[in-house]
Structure 1
Amino acid sequence: MKAQVDALLVLSFGGPEGPDDVMPFLERVTSGRGVPRARLLEVAEHYEHFGGVSPINARNRELISRVRDELAAAGVELPVYFGNRNWHPLVEDTVARMAADGVRRALVFATSAYGGYSACRQYHEDIARARAAVGPDAPELVKIRHFFDHPEFVASAAEAVRAATAELPEEHREQARLVFTAHSIPTAADAAAGVPAEGGHRYSRQVAEAARLVAAELGVDDYDLVWQSRSGPPSVPWLEPDVLDHLDTLHAKAVPAVVTCPIGFVSDHVEVVWDLDNEAAERAAEHGMAFARAATAGQDARFAQMVVELVREHLAAVPARALGTVPSAGGGRNGEPCAPDCCLAAR
């Protein structure tokens, strides 16, 4: 048996839930980064198209409900809490409530499958900040391992691609190009995640491995991995190609249809529904290309089952399952921590 665990904390990015939340949310996300206000106002316009509401909090509450049901079905009595990095419920407030409820040791499921600074290390920083804010009574918080190559994550994403493909006109389904997308990051940040080389958890490498595994599950040998949602000055190199530029390239090759799979995202939020459902869909329409976007994996019932399985790795020494060969935090084995200098923030 593993060490006692009193609770599960679902830790996510957070998003605004009304028009008055948008600018305070964006200011919190970009605090200390010197992002011009003009850029924040530009991004705020995207939220206006959705009434100032990001879908991410609602999707996370739905996930938590499913996880609670799966825990109950597995006979695991464990309260599930919800906290965010950037918007309410803020993780500091949630950890304070956990301490008041008597929680002494909790697992943390971060809603990112990958390594890298923003995808992993920053969640460790969120945990440390929340515990420091609460003080000596704060519970111990143990972040669950990466899951980009977990069989249920792969199966959830593959099923979403099948469903999206079925939305295309029948005559285009066999010719549709499968395009995986993930949030771009500066190339320097991606390189930082590869240190040390033998234990680094490079984001782009893990995303590529997830795409390979999903494509294999679908029986697809030829596919593309592209990036989206980049920001910052053009002088700073980011992971490329951008999804919009890639659609132009596919059009030039006379590709008649595209299915995009947002493999880098666990749940919908504005960068998914705006960048793909609006901008990418419009670009495809301009080219006369049929277009469909797969649902994010977190909406599939198997995803909640995966979360419970990851919890049970700690509770009852359930064997860790992983399909890939790319390094990840824990390496598919419990108790193997990240290296101290892994995934540092790029300057």
Structure 2
Amino acid sequence: MPDQRDPNAAPDRPAAPNGPDTGPYDALLLLSFGGPEGPDDVVPFLENVTRGRGIPRERLKEVGKHYFLFGGVSPINEQNRELLAALRKEFADQGVDLPVYWGNRNWAPYLTDALREIADAGHRRVLVLATSAYASYSGCRQYRENLAASLAVLAEEGRPALRVDKLRHYFNHPGFVEPMVDNTLAALAALPADVRDRARLAFTTHSIPTAAADTSGPVAAHGDGGAYVAQHLETARLVADRVRQATGTDRDWQLVYQSRSGAPHIPWLEPDICDHLESEHADGAPAVVMVPIGFVSDHMEVKYDLDTEAAAKAAELGLPVSRAATVGADPRFAAAVRELVLERAATERGLAPVRCALGRLGPSHDVCPAGCCPAADRGRPSRPAAAGTD
């Protein structure tokens, strides 16, 4: 299997954080996907996720079996509570005077309720941290559409207008990459000693339709589109390089996908993690570490698709595997969010702040350009979106 590291990559560029002034912003919103917190929540949650697609309730009950295996509880909300606490602690410890709120796309606490609370508290300029590190329709544009729809509700209610700005993509920020490196090293250490030094790495992320991947972006080094795959490959390279430096072993690695959904005739990104494990086993791989770089927290796609389904496939093959933890509420990630907040605030004040980024792609754009990450996989024009130029 070829090593996908780029030998021509530019040196990594670590940098120092900016000062503690958050003006003109007066609130931060943690914006996430949401998940059920009990058996009775599962089908209503899935109805929220699939609203407008005409999926029968009986089909949703079938899909919900994954959640019922875990008592109907997704871990994402609890992990968001932990991240919320970590952000508040980081801000308090570093003298950053910025209240942090939390809202979800598909389950309580809902986004509209969170924005309503922010407005009623007197805040008017809001930064938004989405729990997705990469460019894509579902990971960026759809959150911006949700923000626009919720702001429209508040306007209809006669509440004061809010301006929301979304923090840039953080896939290559040191505070995201470094925890993933340590988590990968811990997963390697969990393997049997006789295969540990020869284990391969499978970097996993959510599969999306190839049409959506092709129109994600832009990335300066790759022109318009293709950002979803390019950004994941860069994160994987950064993690793999640091694991090599830490262990002295140059490992084969590959970016693979998981959690495909939707009509079977529509092309999605491949290979699937389970198919990849079969290929690795056939190729003589002694062990594989699954590294979920595409996910900030251990939500259901991680707990079921990797810890349950992929682990079962590996056991069937007799292939030793382990799974690296996600970033979650790691203090380094909380510190990265603080840096991103201060960076964007300084930019809004007309300054030229330090913009931390590792690798060859550099820091992402602050403002999404018109037409960025359209809903190409949905067969419809994109809806109005906040925190961008359209």
Task: Point out the more displaced range, 300-309 or 141-150.
Answer: 300-309
Task: Point out the more displaced range, 266-275 or 309-318.
Answer: 309-318
Task: Point out the more displaced range, 195-204 or 137-146.
Answer: 195-204
- In the TM superposition, residue 177 of structure 1 has moved relative to its aligned partner by 1.1
Q: Equivalent of 1:343, from 373, 376, 384?
A: 373
Q: Equivalent of 1:113, from 123, 126, 133?
A: 133
Query: Relative to structure 1, is the Cα distance of residues 163 and 236 closer, same or farther in structure 2, using a 3 angstrom cutoff?
Result: same
The SS at the match of 1:226 is strand
Matched, 1:204 2:224: no
Structure-2 separation of matches of 1:65 and 1:30: 30
The SS at the match of 1:278 is helix
Question: Which residue in 2 is equivalent to 1:323?
Answer: 358
Structure 1 stretches of 5 or more lacking a match?
331-335
Query: Relative to structure 1, is the Cα distance of residues 2 and 88 closer, same or farther in structure 2, using a 3 angstrom cutoff?
Result: closer
Question: Which residue in 2 is equivalent to 1:128?
Answer: 148
Report Cα offsets for 1:103-148 as digits up to 9, x if no partner: 1111100000000100111111111111111115142111000000
Structure-1 separation of matches of 2:71 and 2:146: 28
User: TM-score normalized by structure 2?
Assistant: 0.84
Question: Which residue in 2 is equivalent to 1:163?
Answer: 186
Query: Relative to structure 1, is the Cα distance of residues 200 and 163 closer, same or farther in structure 2, using a 3 angstrom cutoff?
Result: same
Matched, 1:103 2:103: no
Higher relative contact order (CA 8 A, sep 6+): 2
Query: Relative to structure 1, is the Cα distance of residues 85 and 281 closer, same or farther in structure 2, using a 3 angstrom cutoff?
Result: same
Tell me the matched-pair count.
342
Structure-1 separation of matches of 2:210 and 2:23: 39
Task: Point out the more displaced range, 188-197 or 70-79.
Answer: 188-197
Structure 2 stretches of 5 or more lacking a match?
1-20, 245-249, 348-352, 380-390
What is the identity, as a one-letter code, of the residue corresponding to 1:339?
P
Query: Relative to structure 1, is the Cα distance of residues 14 and 267 closer, same or farther in structure 2, using a 3 angstrom cutoff?
Result: same
Of all paired residues, the percent bearing the same amino acid is: 54
Matched, 1:238 2:268: yes
Q: Equivalent of 2:198, from 170, 175, 195?
A: 175
**Contact 1:12–1:110 (8 Å) recurs in 2:** yes
Q: Equivalent of 2:294, from 217, 240, 264?
A: 264
- In the TM superposition, residue 298 of structure 1 has moved relative to its aligned partner by 2.2
**Contact 1:7–1:78 (8 Å) recurs in 2:** yes
User: TM-score normalized by structure 1?
Assistant: 0.94
Structure-2 separation of matches of 1:60 and 1:98: 18
- In the TM superposition, residue 5 of structure 1 has moved relative to its aligned partner by 1.0
What is the identity, as a one-letter code, of the residue corresponding to 2:258?
Q
Question: Which residue in 2 is equivalent to 1:46?
Answer: 66
**Contact 1:115–1:201 (8 Å) recurs in 2:** no
What is the identity, as a one-letter code, of the residue corresponding to 2:300?
V
Which contiguous aligned blocks of 4+ residues in structure 1 show a shift greater than 4 angstroms? Answer: 194-197
The SS at the match of 1:82 is strand
Question: Which residue in 1 is equivalent to 2:92?
Answer: 72
What is the identity, as a one-letter code, of the residue corresponding to 1:214?
V
Matched, 1:61 2:81: yes
Structure-2 separation of matches of 1:72 and 1:321: 22
What is the identity, as a one-letter code, of the residue corresponding to 2:113?
D
Matched, 1:151 2:151: no
The SS at the match of 2:256 is strand
- In the TM superposition, residue 202 of structure 1 has moved relative to its aligned partner by 2.0
Q: Equivalent of 1:216, from 236, 241, 247?
A: 241
Question: Which residue in 1 is equivalent to 2:285?
Answer: 255
Structure-1 separation of matches of 2:226 and 2:119: 32
- In the TM superposition, residue 256 of structure 1 has moved relative to its aligned partner by 2.0
Structure-1 separation of matches of 2:354 and 2:147: 26
Question: Which residue in 1 is equivalent to 2:247?
Answer: none
- In the TM superposition, residue 152 of structure 1 has moved relative to its aligned partner by 1.5
Q: Equivalent of 1:277, from 282, 286, 307?
A: 307
The SS at the match of 2:64 is helix
What is the identity, as a one-letter code, of the residue corresponding to 1:310?
L
Structure-1 separation of matches of 2:56 and 2:273: 25
